[in-house]
Structure 1
Amino acid sequence: MNTTNFELIYGEECAHEEDPEKIYERCWALTVIEAAERKLREEFAQQGRLTLFKELEPYLRNEDRKPSYEKLAETLNSTPGAVRILVHRLRKRLRGLLESEVAQTLTDSSEVELECRWILMTLRRSR
Protein backbone atom coordinates (compact mmCIF):
# COMPACT_ATOMS: atom_id res chain seq x y z
CA MET A 1 0.00 0.00 0.00
CA ASN A 2 1.53 3.31 -0.93
CA THR A 3 1.32 6.44 1.19
CA THR A 4 -1.29 8.05 -1.05
CA ASN A 5 -3.67 5.12 -0.57
CA PHE A 6 -2.97 5.13 3.15
CA GLU A 7 -3.82 8.82 3.37
CA LEU A 8 -7.12 8.22 1.60
CA ILE A 9 -7.98 5.38 3.96
CA TYR A 10 -7.30 7.52 7.00
CA GLY A 11 -9.03 10.51 5.49
CA GLU A 12 -5.81 12.42 5.60
CA GLU A 13 -4.25 14.58 2.99
CA CYS A 14 -0.68 15.86 2.94
CA ALA A 15 -1.12 18.56 0.34
CA HIS A 16 -3.35 21.42 1.36
CA GLU A 17 -2.84 24.94 2.58
CA GLU A 18 -1.43 24.50 6.02
CA ASP A 19 1.74 25.12 7.95
CA PRO A 20 4.50 23.13 6.16
CA GLU A 21 5.77 21.79 9.48
CA LYS A 22 2.34 20.33 10.30
CA ILE A 23 2.10 18.80 6.84
CA TYR A 24 5.52 17.21 7.31
CA GLU A 25 4.59 15.89 10.77
CA ARG A 26 1.34 14.36 9.51
CA CYS A 27 3.06 12.74 6.53
CA TRP A 28 5.79 11.35 8.77
CA ALA A 29 3.20 9.94 11.18
CA LEU A 30 1.35 8.27 8.30
CA THR A 31 4.60 6.81 6.98
CA VAL A 32 5.47 5.24 10.34
CA ILE A 33 1.99 3.75 10.72
CA GLU A 34 2.09 2.48 7.15
CA ALA A 35 5.42 0.72 7.82
CA ALA A 36 3.98 -0.99 10.90
CA GLU A 37 0.87 -2.06 9.02
CA ARG A 38 2.96 -3.41 6.14
CA LYS A 39 4.94 -5.56 8.59
CA LEU A 40 1.71 -6.85 10.12
CA ARG A 41 0.39 -7.76 6.67
CA GLU A 42 3.68 -9.55 5.92
CA GLU A 43 3.41 -11.54 9.17
CA PHE A 44 -0.06 -12.73 8.21
CA ALA A 45 1.11 -13.56 4.68
CA GLN A 46 4.05 -15.61 6.02
CA GLN A 47 1.61 -17.56 8.19
CA GLY A 48 -0.68 -18.19 5.22
CA ARG A 49 -3.37 -15.99 6.78
CA LEU A 50 -3.45 -13.07 4.34
CA THR A 51 -7.15 -13.61 3.59
CA LEU A 52 -7.92 -13.29 7.31
CA PHE A 53 -5.83 -10.12 7.49
CA LYS A 54 -7.77 -8.61 4.60
CA GLU A 55 -11.03 -9.35 6.42
CA LEU A 56 -9.76 -7.79 9.67
CA GLU A 57 -7.89 -4.86 8.11
CA PRO A 58 -10.82 -2.39 8.15
CA TYR A 59 -10.88 -2.68 11.95
CA LEU A 60 -7.37 -1.20 12.14
CA ARG A 61 -8.70 2.08 10.83
CA ASN A 62 -11.65 4.32 11.38
CA GLU A 63 -13.46 3.08 8.31
CA ASP A 64 -17.19 3.68 8.28
CA ARG A 65 -17.81 0.81 5.89
CA LYS A 66 -16.43 -1.99 8.03
CA PRO A 67 -18.87 -4.84 8.68
CA SER A 68 -20.27 -5.50 12.13
CA TYR A 69 -18.60 -8.15 14.25
CA GLU A 70 -21.70 -10.29 13.72
CA LYS A 71 -21.43 -10.06 9.92
CA LEU A 72 -17.69 -10.75 9.96
CA ALA A 73 -18.28 -13.69 12.30
CA GLU A 74 -20.63 -15.18 9.70
CA THR A 75 -18.02 -14.66 6.97
CA LEU A 76 -15.32 -16.31 9.08
CA ASN A 77 -17.65 -19.06 10.33
CA SER A 78 -16.96 -17.89 13.86
CA THR A 79 -18.65 -16.02 16.70
CA PRO A 80 -18.81 -12.26 17.35
CA GLY A 81 -16.86 -12.80 20.58
CA ALA A 82 -14.08 -14.60 18.75
CA VAL A 83 -13.98 -11.80 16.16
CA ARG A 84 -13.67 -9.19 18.92
CA ILE A 85 -10.70 -11.10 20.30
CA LEU A 86 -9.10 -11.34 16.85
CA VAL A 87 -9.52 -7.59 16.32
CA HIS A 88 -8.13 -6.85 19.78
CA ARG A 89 -5.07 -9.02 19.10
CA LEU A 90 -4.61 -7.48 15.66
CA ARG A 91 -4.65 -3.94 17.09
CA LYS A 92 -2.32 -4.96 19.92
CA ARG A 93 0.17 -6.45 17.44
CA LEU A 94 -0.03 -3.33 15.27
CA ARG A 95 0.69 -1.23 18.34
CA GLY A 96 3.77 -3.37 19.07
CA LEU A 97 4.99 -3.00 15.50
CA LEU A 98 4.38 0.76 15.64
CA GLU A 99 6.42 0.97 18.83
CA SER A 100 9.19 -0.99 17.14
CA GLU A 101 9.17 1.36 14.15
CA VAL A 102 9.24 4.41 16.42
CA ALA A 103 12.04 2.95 18.55
CA GLN A 104 14.24 2.82 15.45
CA THR A 105 13.96 6.60 15.15
CA LEU A 106 14.85 7.43 18.76
CA THR A 107 18.08 7.34 20.73
CA ASP A 108 16.22 7.04 24.05
CA SER A 109 13.90 4.03 24.18
CA SER A 110 12.05 5.52 27.16
CA GLU A 111 10.47 8.02 24.73
CA VAL A 112 8.71 5.42 22.54
CA GLU A 113 5.33 5.64 24.28
CA LEU A 114 5.39 9.43 24.23
CA GLU A 115 6.27 9.45 20.52
CA CYS A 116 3.46 6.99 19.71
CA ARG A 117 1.00 9.25 21.52
CA TRP A 118 2.34 12.20 19.53
CA ILE A 119 1.76 10.31 16.27
CA LEU A 120 -1.85 9.57 17.17
CA MET A 121 -2.48 13.15 18.33
CA THR A 122 -0.95 14.47 15.11
CA LEU A 123 -3.33 12.39 13.02
CA ARG A 124 -6.37 13.31 15.12
CA ARG A 125 -5.57 17.03 14.91
CA SER A 126 -5.45 16.91 11.14
CA ARG A 127 -9.00 15.61 10.73
Structure 2
Amino acid sequence: MLLERVMIQLRNECVAARKGELFETLKHHLTGEPGGESYQELAARLNTSEGAVKVTVHRLRRRFGELVRAQIARTLDRPEEIDDEIRQLFAALE
Protein backbone atom coordinates (compact mmCIF):
# COMPACT_ATOMS: atom_id res chain seq x y z
CA MET A 1 0.00 0.00 0.00
CA LEU A 2 1.15 3.52 -0.75
CA LEU A 3 1.16 4.80 2.82
CA GLU A 4 3.14 1.79 4.01
CA ARG A 5 5.75 2.39 1.30
CA VAL A 6 5.98 6.03 2.29
CA MET A 7 6.37 5.12 5.97
CA ILE A 8 9.18 2.71 5.07
CA GLN A 9 10.87 5.38 2.97
CA LEU A 10 10.63 7.89 5.82
CA ARG A 11 11.97 5.32 8.27
CA ASN A 12 14.90 4.64 5.94
CA GLU A 13 15.66 8.36 5.71
CA CYS A 14 15.63 8.63 9.49
CA VAL A 15 17.87 5.59 9.88
CA ALA A 16 20.31 7.07 7.36
CA ALA A 17 20.34 10.26 9.45
CA ARG A 18 20.97 8.17 12.59
CA LYS A 19 17.49 8.97 13.90
CA GLY A 20 15.90 5.57 13.46
CA GLU A 21 15.14 5.10 17.14
CA LEU A 22 13.55 8.54 17.32
CA PHE A 23 11.40 7.70 14.29
CA GLU A 24 10.24 4.43 15.88
CA THR A 25 9.30 6.30 19.04
CA LEU A 26 7.31 9.00 17.23
CA LYS A 27 5.88 7.19 14.19
CA HIS A 28 2.46 6.61 15.76
CA HIS A 29 1.96 10.36 15.92
CA LEU A 30 2.46 10.73 12.17
CA THR A 31 -0.76 9.06 11.14
CA GLY A 32 -3.03 10.22 13.94
CA GLU A 33 -3.45 6.77 15.45
CA PRO A 34 -5.47 7.00 18.65
CA GLY A 35 -3.86 6.29 21.99
CA GLY A 36 -0.18 6.17 22.60
CA GLU A 37 1.94 8.39 24.73
CA SER A 38 1.35 12.10 25.07
CA TYR A 39 3.97 14.57 23.89
CA GLN A 40 4.78 15.23 27.53
CA GLU A 41 5.37 11.53 28.20
CA LEU A 42 7.47 11.19 25.05
CA ALA A 43 9.54 14.21 26.05
CA ALA A 44 10.29 12.65 29.42
CA ARG A 45 11.22 9.34 27.81
CA LEU A 46 13.43 11.05 25.21
CA ASN A 47 14.97 13.38 27.79
CA THR A 48 13.95 16.48 25.86
CA SER A 49 11.28 19.16 26.00
CA GLU A 50 7.68 18.76 24.94
CA GLY A 51 8.24 21.58 22.45
CA ALA A 52 11.12 19.69 20.85
CA VAL A 53 8.91 16.62 20.47
CA LYS A 54 6.16 18.70 18.84
CA VAL A 55 8.64 20.26 16.40
CA THR A 56 10.09 16.87 15.49
CA VAL A 57 6.64 15.35 14.92
CA HIS A 58 5.69 18.37 12.81
CA ARG A 59 8.80 17.95 10.66
CA LEU A 60 8.22 14.23 10.27
CA ARG A 61 4.59 14.84 9.26
CA ARG A 62 5.66 17.45 6.73
CA ARG A 63 8.22 15.06 5.23
CA PHE A 64 5.64 12.25 5.24
CA GLY A 65 3.30 14.52 3.25
CA GLU A 66 6.06 15.40 0.79
CA LEU A 67 6.78 11.73 0.23
CA VAL A 68 3.07 10.93 -0.26
CA ARG A 69 2.81 13.70 -2.85
CA ALA A 70 5.91 12.45 -4.65
CA GLN A 71 4.64 8.86 -4.75
CA ILE A 72 1.26 9.95 -6.09
CA ALA A 73 2.85 12.28 -8.64
CA ARG A 74 4.75 9.35 -10.10
CA THR A 75 1.44 7.66 -10.96
CA LEU A 76 -0.13 10.64 -12.72
CA ASP A 77 0.31 12.19 -16.13
CA ARG A 78 -0.74 15.65 -14.98
CA PRO A 79 0.72 17.19 -11.80
CA GLU A 80 -2.40 19.29 -11.24
CA GLU A 81 -4.25 16.07 -10.38
CA ILE A 82 -2.17 15.40 -7.25
CA ASP A 83 -4.45 17.19 -4.79
CA ASP A 84 -7.54 15.39 -6.10
CA GLU A 85 -5.78 12.04 -5.82
CA ILE A 86 -4.72 12.80 -2.24
CA ARG A 87 -8.28 13.76 -1.29
CA GLN A 88 -9.60 10.55 -2.83
CA LEU A 89 -6.97 8.49 -1.05
CA PHE A 90 -7.77 9.87 2.38
CA ALA A 91 -11.52 9.74 1.74
CA ALA A 92 -11.14 6.05 0.98
CA LEU A 93 -9.27 5.55 4.26
CA GLU A 94 -12.03 7.05 6.40
Q: Which amino acid counterpart does residue 71 of structure 1 have in structure 2?
A: E
- Give 1 or 2 for the bigger CA radius of gyration: 1
Q: Which amino acid counterpart does residue 33 of structure 1 have in structure 2?
A: L
SS of 1:97's partner is helix
Count, aligned residues:
94
Aligned-pair Cα RMSD in Å: 1.0
Q: Distance in 2 between matches of 1:83 and 1:114?
A: 31
Structure 1 segments of 4+ aligned residues over 2 angstroms from their partners: 61-65
What is the TM-score of this pair, normalised by structure 1? 0.71
| Equivalent in the alignment of 2:46 | 76
Which segments of 5 or more consecutive residues in structure 1 lack a partner in the other structure?
A: 1-30
Q: Distance in 2 between matches of 1:81 and 1:62?
A: 18
- Percent identity over the alignment? 34
74, 82, 86: which one pairs with 1:116?
A: 86
Which segments of 5 or more consecutive residues in structure 2 lack a partner in the other structure?
A: none
Q: Which has the higher contact order (CA 8 A, sep 6+)?
A: 1
Q: Distance in 2 between matches of 1:102 and 1:63?
A: 22
Q: Distance in 1 between matches of 2:8 and 2:41?
A: 26
